[in-house]
């Protein structure tokens, strides 16, 4: 299914700078489911040890990537902080550990924003948008390397009762009935996050699509892409309260209108 589109800036006034504001050319190949160590000198030495040539050879941590050796999301509470790399950054397996990937400044032609789930000195453990679902890694989050912001929003998807809730500082600001993946193509469970906001220009099923960091467990690829799970509307409300998608989360227009205001990097807990 074609997912071509362009991203456009959206967001609540105080968090709008986190949102995508550039064109997206090939979302068609993305969304599947619609049918600690020591710091100081030692840390600096570890970062400097990865030269430009080695950095260029590292796989990119994007929705197209696969990092089977990346550490799994430990399930810690998180920090509420999101980071945007000012340059391509090395992603390490642990503090001062092995380089496993590079985090680019852009994802799907949109600014990369990733949630921070743990911190140790100048190091930050972040969630990654790659396969396998729940992949994480460590980056050196110095002022010259990243821009940081506080994100007080979160989304929770309850698959059993077909509901989606948005909270701000733990307080509910909206809840809606949704559609989820069918039994053979279930919506994957875990702590995902919003990686982009795409304005649909080809298909009419949803004006905006929000791709997540998670991928389908049953579709290795979809439409030639990596099987990225997304949030979007549908031409009618026949999906409401049903498991009838190929893994994506289908929402009403009212819900989407609120979801597109959220900053990139917002956590989406799928339970």
Please answer whether residues 162 and 180 qualify as being in contact, where contact means their C-beta atoms are separated by less than 8 angstroms.
Answer: yes
Name the segment(s) of the chain with CATH classification 2.30.30.40: 40-150
Q: Rounded to whole angstroms, what are the CA distances from 133 to 119, 150, 161, 173?
A: 21, 24, 23, 27
CATH for the 5-32+152-270 domain, from 3.40.50.1820, 2.40.37.10, 2.40.440.10, 3.90.1560.10: 2.40.440.10
232 is catalytic: yes
34 is catalytic: no
The predicted pLDDT at position 17 comes to: 41
Name the segment(s) of the chain with CATH classification 2.40.440.10: 5-32+152-270
The CATH number given to 40-150 is: 2.30.30.40
Residues of the chain with pLDDT under 70: 1-48, 221-224
pLDDT tens-digit readout, 168-191: 999 999 999 999 999 999 999 999
Phi, psi of 13 (to 5 degrees): -55, -45
The predicted pLDDT at position 5 comes to: 32
pLDDT tens-digit readout, 12-50: 434 434 443 333 333 444 554 455 333 344 444 444 478
Q: Which residues pair with 168 in a beta bridge?
A: 153, 171
d(CA 251, CA 232): 6
The predicted pLDDT at position 219 comes to: 78
The predicted pLDDT at position 225 comes to: 74
The predicted pLDDT at position 109 comes to: 75
Tell me, yes or no, if the pTM score tops 0.75: yes
The predicted pLDDT at position 15 comes to: 43
The predicted pLDDT at position 200 comes to: 81
């Amino acid at each position: 299914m074609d997912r071509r589109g362009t991203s456009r800036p959206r967001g609540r006034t105080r968090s709008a700078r986190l949102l995508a504001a550039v064109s997206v050319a090939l979302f068609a190949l993305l969304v599947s489911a619609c049918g600690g160590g020591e710091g100081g000198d030692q840390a600096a030495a570890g970062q400097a040890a990865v030269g430009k040539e080695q950095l260029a050879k590292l796989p990119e941590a994007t929705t197209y990537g696969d990092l089977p050796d990346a550490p799994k999301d430990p399930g810690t509470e998180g920090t509420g902080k999101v980071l945007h790399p000012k340059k391509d950054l090395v992603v390490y397996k642990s503090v001062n550990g092995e380089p496993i990937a590079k985090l680019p400044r852009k994802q799907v032609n949109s600014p990369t924003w990733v949630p921070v789930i743990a911190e140790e000195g100048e190091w930050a453990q972040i969630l990654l948008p790659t396969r396998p679902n729940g992949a994480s890694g460590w980056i050196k989050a110095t002022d010259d390397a990243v821009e940081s912001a506080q994100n007080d929003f979160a989304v929770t998807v309850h698959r059993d009762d077909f509901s989606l809730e948005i909270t701000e500082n733990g307080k509910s600001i909206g809840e809606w009935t949704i559609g989820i993946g069918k039994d053979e193509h279930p919506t994957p469970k875990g702590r995902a996050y919003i990686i982009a906001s795409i304005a649909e220009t080809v298909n009419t099923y949803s004006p905006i699509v929000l791709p997540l960091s998670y991928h389908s467990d049953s579709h290795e690829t979809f439409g030639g892409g990596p099987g990225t799970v997304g949030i979007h509307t549908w031409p009618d409300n026949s999906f409401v309260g049903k498991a009838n998608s190929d893994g994506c989360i289908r929402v009403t227009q009212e819900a989407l209108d609120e979801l597109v205001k959220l900053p990139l990097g917002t956590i989406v807990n799928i339970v």
